[in-house]
Structure 1
Amino acid sequence: MPKYACKLFYLGTGYHGSQYQPNLPTIQGELINGLTKWSGYEYPSTSVAFSGRTDKGVNSIGQTVCFETEGKIQINQINEHLPEDIILWAETEVPMDFNPRHRVLFRHYRYYFDTSQSDVDFSRIMNAASKLEGLHDFQFLSKPDGDKSTNTVLLNVCIANERITFADFYGINFLWKLVRKSVNLLVSIGKGEIHPNVCRQLLDGADVLPSGIEPAPPENLFLIDAAIPLRMKKNKNALNTIRKRLKKRIAYFHRYRRALEGVVADCFNETFLC
């Protein structure tokens, strides 16, 4: 039986994270169901390996997944058995002992800032972001995860402030909620709600924010890539499908937003509330 590593796109809204959970909709669970329908034999929950987990609501462009097949992989046929918001789009054959979690060279996350955050001072954000780079104890910028160490390395943190504003985080191992908590810290610094020195104090182990830092909303976060040291063959049909479905979803949300704004203006205005 050959074994393949694939790139997986998904939108996390509507799923309880990427990791398989019995009786709950998850990305891994849907992929297992799709492979089972495509192949005709049952894939157990341990048969599909991910390069790492993503939380409920978090999205992916380049999650790396790995599984065996009885014959040559057929990405387009597998995708026919997957939900519209989960699509395989690249593949390569790998050795039988290949584990995507252990072979990742680096992970790249991107957080898209909400337009309501346009009032922030991005020079302050950029300065604070540079302090996150390197080896640090991120205990105050992550959520406890059993006995797992809170020491890790962020290779690079950069901010783009152009037509679309976002923060890029590059690292090898990411702690639970590290990116989303870091984003909220950076935004609070950019708005002047938190002094820039707090970033360094938190990394030095000073609990200067007793109430802690809430993670930023998950829907703005994408796993851009979990890079492995292998060249992967892209599937143009799958990539075109992703583009079409994203444009369709964007159009839907534009229509829905206008409808909701109309409801608020027409049915829940000051006259109605009095």
Structure 2
Amino acid sequence: MSTPTYLDLGPDRRIAHVRTKAQGAGRAAPGVVFLGGFRSDMEGTKALALEAWARREGHAFLRFDYRGHGASSGAFEDGCVGDWADDAIQAVTRLTEGPQVVVGSSMGGWIALLLARAAPARVAALVGVAAAPDFTVEMAASMNEAARAEMAATGLWRRPSAYSDDPYPITRKLIEDGARNLVLDAPLRVGFPVRLLQGTADEDVSVDVAMRLLGHVEGPDTRLTLVKGADHRFSGAREIDLLIATVEEAGLVAQKGISSPE
């Protein structure tokens, strides 16, 4: 496990990150940036596997924690999608050089799309892994009467999670900010390759979401790969091998200039 360094963006805003520099032939290829999911951190299986691959191949690689996540400053409850997207924008623009292959896992897929909207010249290709754009809309719709009453009274709904013994704190700020940062309410016009990976056994993000995202992307080279039996974590050996191969292929396509900005 590498010791993170910090990008200081203010007195109470420090973004923990681990950066791998390009080496040898890897200098000619786009760097790779990993964007984690909701309440996850940069020490997950996918991030570390991609980092190991990048080191072997000489590619530049960046993983980091949004504010309120992992080793970064701040409380999770104080953040929202717009904040985390800005963390990603700051990390990419300040810690990387040139266009990057942006890999977004779950919520990170939404963040990747917001990054591409804000800084399209810094995205060489986008790889979504169980991408969950606009997930706060479904989250709000899933709230029962008791949950709505809890949020109305306290500004917070403690939502049970399959990934933690502690319920997830879902804030009114998160829901309201999500509605201001939707990406599936209009066509997503991109000038770079897009690769979407989705498991059919994913109980958090359905294949329908992946199909809807595929339908919204308008670009020169967009593909969706369905993996039978893969769950939301997408972290088994088979899935990791596919993820690495997909990132490598997307980077090669971008490097060759097959997809050019519109």
TM > 0.5 between the two? no
TM-score normalised over the length of structure 2? 0.28
TM-score normalised over the length of structure 1? 0.27
Whichever structure has more helix as a proportion of its residues is 2
